[in-house]
Each structure stands twice: as C-alpha cells, then as structure tokens.
Structure 1
Amino acid sequence: MKKLCLLILLLLSIPAAIHPPITYAHTNNSEGYSLIEANDHNIDYELKIDLIELGHAINQEMANEQLFNLEIVQDYINSRINLYADSTKVEGTIESSDVEMINDKQFAVINLTYKLNDQPEKLALEYNMFLDDSDPSHANYATVKLDGKQQEGVLSFESRELEIGEASFVQSATQFLLLGLEHIFTGYDHILFVISLLFGAKTIKNILSLVTAFTIAHSITLVLATLNIVQLPSSFVEAAIALSIIYIALINIFNPDSKHQSWLAFIFGLVHGFGFAGILSEMRLDASHLATSLLSFNIGIEIGQLIIVSIIFPILLWLKKLTFKPAKWVIPVASVAILAFGLVWFIERAF
C-alpha cells in the first residue's frame, strides 16, 4: 500500500516537473543587454532582459511569449533606468516589445524612445534593473553610441553607470541659463513673491536693496543644496515658500504704507534658494562644468527677475500717481488674490 501511494505521488509530480510554474521561477545571475543610440531628436534604447526575472521584479506573470501590462513595465523601467542627455533626465516610452530566445532562455525585447529637442553632446546612464529588488547578481552588457563614438561596459551591482561624450563650456552655460529663465517664469510662487516685494518698495534704491538681498540669499542656499552640503525636505521647503508669500501679502494688506526691509527679503531668499535647487537635484550635473552650470542657472534666474521688476514696477508707480480712486484699490485687491494663492499652496503642500 505504501509503495502504491509513493507511485501515485511520483506520477502526480511529473507534470509539475515538465511544466514548472513560470510565475514563481527565479533565474538568479540573470543577464541583460542594452543598445543605446542617440539620433537628432530622440534616443533609441533596445533593452533585452530575462523575461522571468522581469516578471519576478514587477510581480507579474510573463507567459505566452508576450509582455503583459506594458504600462507597468514602462513605469518600472523608468524608475530603475535613469538616462541623462546633457545632464537633463529624459523619460522613455515603450514603442514595441517582443520575446526572443537567447541561450535557451526567454528574453523580453523592449524598444524605448526618449524624445529630445536636439542631439546631445553627452549621455549618461544609471542602471538599477533588478539589482536592489530581485537579483543583485544581475549583469547588463551595454553599448552606447553617440555622434560616431561608441562606449561599452558591463553594468552590475558594483558598477551601475556608463557615460559617453562631453558637453562643451558654451553648451553647458547656455543650457543652464535658459533653464534658470524657464524656472523663474514657470515658478508662479516665486513670481508672486517678487511682485509682493515690489508692492512695498518705495524707491529705485529700495528695489535694488530688496532684489540684491534676495539674490544673495537664494544664491547661497542654491549652492549649498546643489552640492548636498545642506538638505531640507522638499515638502517643508515648498510649504515655507507658500508661507513667505502669505506673510508678505498680509503686510501689504494691513500695512500698505510700510517699507519692506532688505533683511526680510534675505531671510525668505534663503528659503526660495532651496526651491530653486529642487530642479537641479533631478539632473546629473557635470563635475567639470559644475561652477559654470550653477552660475549660468543663477544668472538665468536673475535675468528673469529683472524682466519682472522692469515690467511691474513702472506700472505700480503709475498706479500710485493716479488720482482716480478705483486705481487705489488695485494693489490691495491684488494682495488679497496673492494671499489666496499662498493659502491654497500652503494647504496643498503642508497637508
């Protein structure tokens, strides 16, 4: 009877041995292949990775020779592979996928496209697929092509980066100057803060002292934060920036004749500097052009501020000289609107 039971158990185990469950399989020492090539307006990335290991990493079943839920796969890849074109991080989009047999193993073949405005002078790859969550022994054999040059390397737990090319001084300076301009003109909280300061400025000399104090302060914290010397939680910084707007707006509403002091602009400038540094923390700054990048970015911010001041302050002077009574309500009403924006931003960022 005992022998019969053993025979039945053996027969039942045969199908499982022939067709092991693919969901829970783990390859260990998995391999991958990367072919990255930069063109005029995009980067093409052909990524080949062990199909079963990919399924294990994202907790999805990979079967029937196709990739399931490409959106999840794309999100996983973008969270584990950082590709920088001239220091700026770019996100990949899956254009096609397939399955290929390599050395008797199924590999997912994923073709990604990274959109660019121009062909970059430098590419940098940070690779973290599987290394921290499913297979520390994973290795990827990578080839990067850029402007006729080719760089090859093996990406592993100990070596996760690959670079090719070098950005020129002029290209780096121009890129970060434009980035600073873009940041100030799309940073509406910074714009409203500067306008609120102008509401309390009485003379050109007063404006120069306020702008100078604000510039020196945010330049200090911008450098400290970018170099990772001083770091503050982004949520705290963003909430503090909203509070600075609220504070200045309240002064403008309840004490409209007060003259803003440069020490106030300096204190809040320190806070705004950490906010300016936030965008740089998402980039891979070139060590050889670090000083140039920071200086150019700061100059871009200052040019943006000067443009705002040169437009807004003459309008304010004109309004203050008008004898038409409704014009006298423009600044108080604008201050109330700025206060409302500050309160909304603070609630969104703090809670």
Structure 2
Amino acid sequence: MKKVWYSIFLLLLSLGSFLPSPAFAHTNNSEGYSNIKVKERTLDYQLKVDLEELGHTLNKETAQQELIDNKVIQKYINSRIELYADSERVEGTVKKTDVETINERPFAVIDLAYNIEHRPEKLIVEYNMFLDDSDPSHANYATVKLNGKQQEKVLSYESRELEIGEISFLQNVKQFLVLGLVHIFTGYDHILFVISLLFGAKTIRHILGLVTGFTIAHSITLALATLDIVTLPSRFVESAIALSIIYVALINIFNKDSKHQPWLAFGFGLIHGFGFAGILSEMRLDTNHMAASLLSFNIGIEIGQLLIVSVVFPLILWIKKLTLKPIRWVIPGTSVAILCFGLVWFIQRAF
C-alpha cells in the first residue's frame, strides 16, 4: 500500500514539473537552521532559512539582502516561532539580517534577540515556519544550548516542538506567585471593582464575606478556563467585567447606604476569573506543575487583593467619619469616576 501511495506522489510531482512557474518560485524540501543560545538576560537566536522559500511565503522578492524587510520578517517569525521561557512566551527582535550561500543556495540569515528577566530553567520552541504556508516538507535543524546542556532536533511537519530543561517546583511557585501579584496590580478594572465593593462594606466581617465570595468564584472559573474545560470569548468576558464595574458603581451613586451582598461579589467573581485566566492562556503551563501554577497564581492575586483592601478600607472608614460637607462628596464623586472608566472600557471592548 505504501508503494502505491509513493508512486502516486511521484506521478503528481512529475506532472507538477510541467505546470507554469509561479511568480515567486519556492523549493520543495526546503531547509532551515536554528542556533539558539540562552544567556543570563538574553536569548540569541540565529535563524537561517531558504531565501526563495521565504520570499514565496512573504509574497515578495527577497533575492538581495537590502530587500529583506526587518519589520515584516520579525512579525512573521514571531507568529510562526513561539518561544516559552519557564512557561512564559517571549518575542524576538530582529537585530541583523544577511544573505549566505549554503549548498549553492541563498539563505536568509536572521539574528534575533529575546529579552528575558533571568536565565530560564526550561525552554520550549514551537516551530511553524513554512509548514502551513508553503512547504509542508520543510525541515529545520535546531540546536539549543541552555545551562551547559545542548540538544539537537530536526523540526518538521510531524515534529514541531523542541523542549530542553526542567523548571523546578520552587522556581515555578515563585514565578506564578509574582505573576499573580503583578496581574492584580496592573489589572485596573479588577482594582476598581474591588474598591467599588468596599464602598458598600460596613464591617470587617462584611468585607471578609465579600472577599471570600469573590475569591471562591474567580478561583473556580480561573481553573476551568485554564484547563480548557469552559472557555468564553475574550470580548464577552472583558465587556462583562466592564459591566460589573458599571453596575456596582451605579448602586454606590444612587444608594449611599447600600450594603453589597456576598452573592453579588460571587456572581461577578465568576466573570473576573475568566479575565484572570487570559494571561495564563498565553503561556505554556508545565503539565507537571499545573496545580502548583494555578494555586500560586491565585495566591498572588489574593495577596494583592488583601493589600488593596488593607489600604483602601481604613481610608474609606476615615472619610465616612469626617463631618465636613465637602468630604461627603468624595465617595460619590469617586464612584462617578469609576462609572466613567467602566463605560469607556465597555465601549472599547464591546464595539
């Protein structure tokens, strides 16, 4: 049976030789070479690929070095070669391009630099150059050097991934704990939602109920989304998060004595959990440390939330105790500002 298919393949290949040549000729069985060296804070990647195949893929003539457009190539490479340093994706910047002759064929030589915060313990390369665009028979001979170790592999249509190293448990926990902290402190929509909830909080016990409800809810959907059990469109999730801010802000404006219930925090927490999962979906989580990654990330978020609550709630109580008339407008005025942010975010995300 294999001989029959092989004969058919050869026949089709022979017939193809009589067809008119395309505007940008490309090769069959094109080759490439990857040389990756991981340093302390940078990752250097020298990529060599068949110049004619590159020109065909980009639909432009690339026979001369000066015609190699760095920006176009950089965008294409970052969309076709994905590098994950300790689960986190990094993108490269083209530093230099050149043309080199290998086996009597012109090759584009592209030097890329990837900025990394620290030397990773594990590196994953997902290679998709040409394979789905123009030449499924393309092969890339890759060499990776990391922490004194070297690994070689031929990347092809059937085998597109190279993995070297292993992230330690402690490094994994630290990384995702910090990632959770950074995410909550840079997630201004989540911060404004938590502050809006605090405006309607009356006691420490009430705060604990709100925070607990919000935490349980977003922990559930964070895990479901990260594990691909339940997924929602990002536009819907981000728009719903904006609506949650608008809803709570409106309650604070029109009902000064409102007391937000834990079920409200729980309900909206389910939506915010999908938002938290967005950053994890862009990463390549290590299956060996999946539970630890989720737990550490969640703990980082909770630490961030507790820090926000511990700073903001005493300030709110102090403002409420002041008798000066202008002070009475601080919380309603802040709620109006939060409402405006929510409306702007909703318009940006929904339309």
Give yes or no for TM over 0.5. yes
Query: Match for residue 126 of structure 1?
Result: 126
- Cα deviations across residues 119-175 of structure 1 (Å, max 9, x unaligned)? 111110000101111111111111111011011111111111000001111110000
Amino acid at match of 1:292: A
Backbone CA RMSD of aligned residues: 1.2
Query: Match for residue 44 of structure 1?
Result: 44
Amino acid at match of 1:25: A
Runs of 4+ in 1 over 3 A off after TM superposition: 20-23
What SS class does the counterpart of residue 280 from structure 2 fall into?
Answer: helix
Q: Where does 1:1-351 land on structure 2 (aligned, <5 Å)?
A: 24-351=24-351
The count of aligned residue pairs is 332
Asked if 2 retains the 8 angstrom alpha-carbon contact of 1:23 and 1:52, the reply is no
What SS class does the counterpart of residue 108 from structure 1 fall into?
Answer: strand
Asked if 2 retains the 8 angstrom alpha-carbon contact of 1:87 and 1:286, the reply is yes
Deviation at 1:67, TM superposition (A): 4.3
- Cα deviations across residues 82-119 of structure 1 (Å, max 9, x unaligned)? 00111111110111111111111111011101011211
Change (3 A) 1:195 1:320: same
Deviation at 1:332, TM superposition (A): 0.3
Change (3 A) 1:67 1:124: farther
Asked if 2 retains the 8 angstrom alpha-carbon contact of 1:22 and 1:62, the reply is no
Query: Match for residue 4 of structure 1?
Result: none
Asked if 1 retains the 8 angstrom alpha-carbon contact of 2:84 and 2:283, the reply is yes
* Distance in 2, Cα, partners of 1:178 & 1:262: 28
What SS class does the counterpart of residue 323 from structure 1 fall into?
Answer: coil
Amino acid at match of 1:46: Q
Normalised TM-score (structure 1):
0.93
Asked if 2 retains the 8 angstrom alpha-carbon contact of 1:23 and 1:60, the reply is no
Asked if 2 retains the 8 angstrom alpha-carbon contact of 1:83 and 1:125, the reply is yes
* Distance in 1, Cα, partners of 2:65 & 2:339: 57
Q: Which has the larger radius of gyration?
A: 1
Deviation at 1:64, TM superposition (A): 2.6
Query: Match for residue 11 of structure 2?
Result: none
Deviation at 1:256, TM superposition (A): 1.5
Amino acid at match of 1:209: G
Amino acid at match of 2:305: Q
Asked if 2 retains the 8 angstrom alpha-carbon contact of 1:38 and 1:145, the reply is yes
* Distance in 1, Cα, partners of 2:201 & 2:270: 20
Residue identity over aligned pairs, in percent, reads 73
* Distance in 1, Cα, partners of 2:112 & 2:21: 29
Deviation at 1:68, TM superposition (A): 2.2
What SS class does the counterpart of residue 95 from structure 1 fall into?
Answer: strand
Amino acid at match of 1:233: P
Asked if 2 retains the 8 angstrom alpha-carbon contact of 1:138 and 1:157, the reply is yes
Amino acid at match of 2:275: G
Asked if 2 retains the 8 angstrom alpha-carbon contact of 1:23 and 1:62, the reply is no
Deviation at 1:22, TM superposition (A): 9.1
* Distance in 2, Cα, partners of 1:317 & 1:301: 24
Amino acid at match of 1:42: T
Asked if 1 retains the 8 angstrom alpha-carbon contact of 2:64 and 2:99, the reply is no
Structure 1 residue runs of 5 or longer lacking an equivalent are 1-19
Change (3 A) 1:168 1:67: farther
* Distance in 1, Cα, partners of 2:22 & 2:105: 12
Amino acid at match of 2:308: I
Amino acid at match of 1:349: R
Normalised TM-score (structure 2):
0.93
* Distance in 1, Cα, partners of 2:241 & 2:127: 34
Amino acid at match of 1:216: I
* Distance in 1, Cα, partners of 2:64 & 2:214: 61
Deviation at 1:305, TM superposition (A): 0.2
